[in-house]
Amino acid sequence: MRIELNRELCAGSATCTGFVPTAFKIGQDGRAVLLIDDADEIDADTLADAVANCPVEAITLIEAE
């Protein structure tokens, strides 16, 4: 599974960093920064919670083909 983050949509709420601090951090501009591309090392339920709780839907999970 791959993670995509739309930084233009990001509102900087830091919800994602609370759920998965190994995958997201808040950058100097106040928006989330993706630290990894491959989500296979992260618990799928926790990652799904991060996606579901993003208030602006800036995070997308893409299944591997």
Token output for 5:
């983050």
38 burial class (0-12, 13-18, 19+ CB within 10 angstroms)? Answer: exposed
- Return the bridge partners of 5, or none: 59
Per-residue pLDDT of the chain (65 residues; tens, 9 = 90+): 889 999 999 999 999 999 999 999 999 999 999 999 788 889 989 999 999 999 999 999 988 77
